[in-house]
C-alpha cells in the first residue's frame, strides 16, 4: 500500500521535472546543484498483517539479485530492473517507523528552506531544524511530528495512504495532547509547546472545511506561552519556539478582537534577546524593533473598524477618533524612523519582470533573501493600516493615495514571498490587508493568488478572506 505514482527521485518529484532515474543518482539533480536524494519515498504504509508470499518455481534467488547488482554497475541492467532493485533495497533498510520519520524530517527541513539558502531562514522556519534532535523525547510531540511529516511526504509524492496516515495520527496527537495538558509538569514542557505549534500548522495546511480550526490551536498556543511565563524562554529552542508562535498569536488577537499580550514590556524585552548568532546584530535588532511595533496592530485595527461603524456625530465617537488619530500619528513617526534605519541595513528591493507574466503587476520586487522580503511586506502592511486610519480620521494629507501606494508595494512583493512551502504563511496578513483595500481588479488578482496558495495552505481559500 502507498506506492507513489512517480518513480523519479524525491527532488525531481518535488521540482516537477522529468527524472532520468539514473543510478546512483540522477543527472537532473547534479545539474540543479543538489545531491540526488534517491528514489525512496520516505514512508511505507502497510494495511493489514504482514505476510510472506510463497516462492513460485523458478523465482529468482539472492544470488540472482547479486548478479543483477553487478550488471547495474557495468551499465547492462535495464532501467526497469534498476528501479525494482532500488525499491527492494529501500524496503530492507526502511523497516523502522522511526527511521521513516527521521528521513521524512530531513526532507521536510530541506523543503522548508527551499528555494532559499538555509542561512536565510528566520525563526518562522528555523524551528523545524530542532525537530530531529527532540524526536523520541515526548509521545505527544512524536505523534505530532509523525502527523506533519506524513502529510508533507504524502503531498509531495501524491501518496494518498500517507495523507490518510497523517489524519489518523493527528487524532492520536490530539488525544495525547489532551492528556499532556492535564499533567502539571508535562504541560509546561518545551515538547508540548512544540506539539501545539505543529498541530496548529497542520490545521493551517490541511483543514479546508473549518476556517476557524487553526484559531482554536492558536488560542491554546497563546495561553500556553503566557502560562509558561517570560522566564521559560532562555534556551535557544524555547526562544525560537516563542518567535515561531508569535505571528499566530497576533493573528488570533486580530480575529478574536483581543489585546495581544506580547505588546507588554516584559514580553518585548524577552523577544529582543538574541540567543543565536545566525544573523548580524543590526539586522536582528531592527527586525525585533518592527515586530515590537507589530504587536500593537490588532488594537489599531479593532479601533479602526469600530470607528468605521460608529455614528460620526456622536460625542463618544469623536473622542475615540481623536485618541486613535494621536496614536496613529505616533505610530507613523515610529515606522518612518524605523524604515530610515532599516533601508541602510538591508538592501532595498529591485524591480524585475514578473516570472509569471502577471498582467496587473508586470513589474515585481526581487529581494536579497526571504527574511528581508517578509519584513518589507510587514512594513507595507502596517503603513496601509496607518494611512487608512489617518484618512478615516480626516487628517490632512493624500492618505487614500498612500493606501494604494503601499498596497501596491505589497502586491509587488507577493511573487517573491510566495516561494517555498512556508510562502503562504508569510502572506496571510499582507494579502488580508490588500483584499480589504482592493479595487475590483486588485481583488480579483488577490483571489487568484489565494486560489493558488490554498492548494497547499488550505486556510487561504478565497472564501476565508471575505467578511
The pLDDT assigned to 33 comes to 66
The pLDDT assigned to 364 comes to 97
Please provide residue 65's backbone torsions phi and psi, each rounded to the nearest 5 degrees.
-60, -40
Cα 174 from chain centre: 21
On the question of pLDDT at 73 being above 80, the answer is no
Sequence-distant (≥ 6) Cβ neighbours of residue 52 within 8 angstroms: none
Specify which residues 365 forms β-bridges with: 351
The predicted-structure confidence for 144-188, as pLDDT tens digits, reads as follows: 999 999 999 989 888 888 888 899 999 999 999 999 999 988 999
- pLDDT confidence tier of residue 118, bands split at 50, 70 and 90: low
Q: Are 24 and 39 in contact (CB under 8 A)?
A: no
Q: Are 419 and 116 in contact (CB under 8 A)?
A: yes
Q: Are 191 and 138 in contact (CB under 8 A)?
A: yes
Across the range 254-259, mean pLDDT stands at 91
The pLDDT assigned to 99 comes to 64
Helix and strand counts by DSSP (H, E) for the chain: 20, 2
- Please choose, from the candidates 40, 6, 38, the residue with its C-alpha nearest in 3D space to the C-alpha of residue 22: 38
How many alpha carbons fall within 13 Å on the CB side of residue 1? 12
Provide the mean pLDDT of the chain.
Answer: 83
The pLDDT assigned to 184 comes to 87
The answer for 21, left when phi > 0, alpha when psi is -120 to 50, beta otherwise, is left
Sequence-distant (≥ 6) Cβ neighbours of residue 388 within 8 angstroms: 304, 399, 403, 437
Q: Are 412 and 404 in contact (CB under 8 A)?
A: no
The predicted-structure confidence for 273-289, as pLDDT tens digits, reads as follows: 887 777 788 888 999 99
Q: H or E element: which one contains 145?
A: helix 139-157
Q: Are 38 and 25 in contact (CB under 8 A)?
A: yes
On the question of pLDDT at 81 being above 90, the answer is no
- pLDDT confidence tier of residue 53, bands split at 50, 70 and 90: very low
Characterize the bridge pairing of strands 350-353 and 363-366: antiparallel
CA distances from residue 385 to 335, 377, 417, 450 in whole angstroms, order as listed? 12, 13, 20, 21
On the question of pLDDT at 141 being above 60, the answer is yes
The predicted-structure confidence for 24-50, as pLDDT tens digits, reads as follows: 677 777 777 676 766 544 433 333 333
- Percent of the chain whose predicted confidence (pLDDT) is above 70: 82
User: Which is more confident, 15 or 300?
Assistant: 300
On the question of pLDDT at 343 being above 50, the answer is yes
Task: Give the number of other CB atoms < 10 A from CB of residue 444.
Answer: 11
For residue 167, count CB atoms less than 10 angstroms from its CB and return exposed for 0-12, middle for 13-18, buried for 19 or more: middle
Minimum mean pLDDT range among 266-275, 399-408, 422-431, 450-459: 266-275
The predicted-structure confidence for 313-328, as pLDDT tens digits, reads as follows: 888 888 999 999 999 9
The predicted-structure confidence for 345-389, as pLDDT tens digits, reads as follows: 999 999 999 999 999 999 999 999 888 999 999 999 999 999 999
Across the range 330-343, mean pLDDT stands at 96
Task: Give the number of other CB atoms < 10 A from CB of residue 454.
Answer: 18
pTM for the predicted model, two decimal places: 0.77
The pLDDT assigned to 161 comes to 86
The pLDDT assigned to 160 comes to 86
Measured CA to CA, the distance from residue 110 to residue 67 in angstroms comes to 36
The pLDDT assigned to 58 comes to 42
The pLDDT assigned to 103 comes to 86
User: Which is more confident, 155 or 409?
Assistant: 409
For residue 89, count CB atoms less than 10 angstroms from its CB and return exposed for 0-12, middle for 13-18, buried for 19 or more: middle
The pLDDT assigned to 98 comes to 58
User: Which is more confident, 107 or 192?
Assistant: 192
The pLDDT assigned to 11 comes to 72
- pLDDT confidence tier of residue 84, bands split at 50, 70 and 90: very low
In b/e form, how buried is each residue of 191-205, taking b as 16+ CB within 10 angstroms?
bbbbbbbbbbbbbbb
Q: Are 244 and 124 in contact (CB under 8 A)?
A: yes
For residue 423, count CB atoms less than 10 angstroms from its CB and return exposed for 0-12, middle for 13-18, buried for 19 or more: buried
The predicted-structure confidence for 379-407, as pLDDT tens digits, reads as follows: 999 999 999 999 999 999 999 999 999 99
> What is the grid cell recorded at 367?
529581494
Measured CA to CA, the distance from residue 126 to residue 284 in angstroms comes to 14
Amino acid at each position: 500500500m502507498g506506492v507513489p505514482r512517480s518513480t523519479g527521485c524525491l527532488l525531481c518529484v518535488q521540482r516537477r521535472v522529468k527524472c532520468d532515474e539514473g543510478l546512483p543518482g540522477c543527472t537532473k539533480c547534479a545539474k540543479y546543484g543538489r545531491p540526488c536524494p534517491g528514489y525512496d519515498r520516505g514512508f511505507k504504509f502497510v494495511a493489514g498483517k504482514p505476510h510472506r508470499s510463497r516462492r513460485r518455481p523458478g523465482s529468482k534467488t539472492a544470488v540472482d539479485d547479486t548478479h543483477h547488482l553487478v550488471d547495474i554497475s557495468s551499465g547492462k541492467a535495464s532501467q526497469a530492473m534498476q528501479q525494482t532493485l532500488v525499491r527492494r533495497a529501500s524496503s530492507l533498510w526502511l523497516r523502522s517507523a522511526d527511521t521513516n520519520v527521521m528521513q521524512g524530517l530531513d526532507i521536510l527541513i530541506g523543503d522548508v528552506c527551499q528555494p532559499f539558502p538555509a542561512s536565510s531562514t528566520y525563526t518562522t522556519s528555523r524551528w523545524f531544524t530542532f525537530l530531529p534532535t527532540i524526536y523520541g523525547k515526548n509521545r505527544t510531540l512524536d505523534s505530532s511530528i509523525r502527523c506533519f511529516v506524513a502529510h508533507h511526504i504524502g503531498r509531495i509524492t501524491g501518496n494518498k495512504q500517507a495523507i490518510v496516515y497523517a489524519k489518523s495520527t493527528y487524532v492520536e496527537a490530539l488525544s495525547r495532547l489532551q492528556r499532556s495538558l492535564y499533567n502539571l509538569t508535562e504541560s509546561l514542557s518545551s515538547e508540548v509547546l512544540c506539539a501545539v505549534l505543529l498541530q496548529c500548522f497542520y490545521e493551517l495546511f490541511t483543514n479546508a472545511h473549518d476556517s476557524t480550526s487553526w484559531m482554536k490551536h492558536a488560542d491554546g498556543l497563546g495561553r500556553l506561552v503566557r502560562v509558561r511565563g517570560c522566564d521559560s524562554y532562555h534556551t535557544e529552542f524555547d526562544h525560537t519556539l516563542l518567535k515561531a508562535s508569535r505571528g499566530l498569536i497576533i493573528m488570533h488577537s486580530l480575529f478574536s478582537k483581543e489585546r495581544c499580550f506580547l505588546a507588554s514590556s516584559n514580553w518585548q524585552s524577552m523577544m529582543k534577546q538574541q540567543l543565536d548568532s545566525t544573523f548580524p546584530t543590526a539586522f536582528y535588532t531592527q527586525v525585533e524593533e518592527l515586530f515590537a511595533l507589530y504587536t500593537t496592530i490588532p488594537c489599531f485595527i479593532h479601533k479602526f473598524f469600530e470607528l468605521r461603524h460608529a455614528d460620526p456625530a456622536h460625542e463618544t465617537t469623536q473622542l475615540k477618533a481623536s485618541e486613535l488619530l494621536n496614536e496613529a500619528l505616533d505610530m507613523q513617526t515610529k515606522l518612518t524612523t524605523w524604515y530610515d534605519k532599516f533601508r541602510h541595513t538591508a538592501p532595498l528591493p529591485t524591480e524585475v519582470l514578473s516570472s509569471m507574466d502577471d498582467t496587473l503587476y508586470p513589474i515585481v520586487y526581487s529581494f536579497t533573501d526571504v527574511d528581508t522580503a517578509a519584513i518589507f511586506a510587514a512594513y507595507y502592511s502596517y503603513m496601509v493600516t496607518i494611512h487608512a486610519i489617518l484618512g478615516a480620521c480626516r487628517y490632512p494629507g493624500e492618505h487614500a493615495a498612500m493606501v494604494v501606494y503601499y498596497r501596491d508595494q505589497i502586491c509587488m512583493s507577493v511573487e517573491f514571498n510566495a516561494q517555498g512551502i512556508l510562502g503562504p504563511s508569510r502572506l496571510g496578513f499582507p494579502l488580508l490587508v490588500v483584499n480589504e483595500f482592493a479595487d475590483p481588479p486588485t481583488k480579483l488578482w488577490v483571489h487568484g493568488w489565494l486560489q493558488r496558495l490554498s492548494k497547499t495552505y488550505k486556510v487561504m481559500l478565497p472564501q476565508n478572506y471575505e467578511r
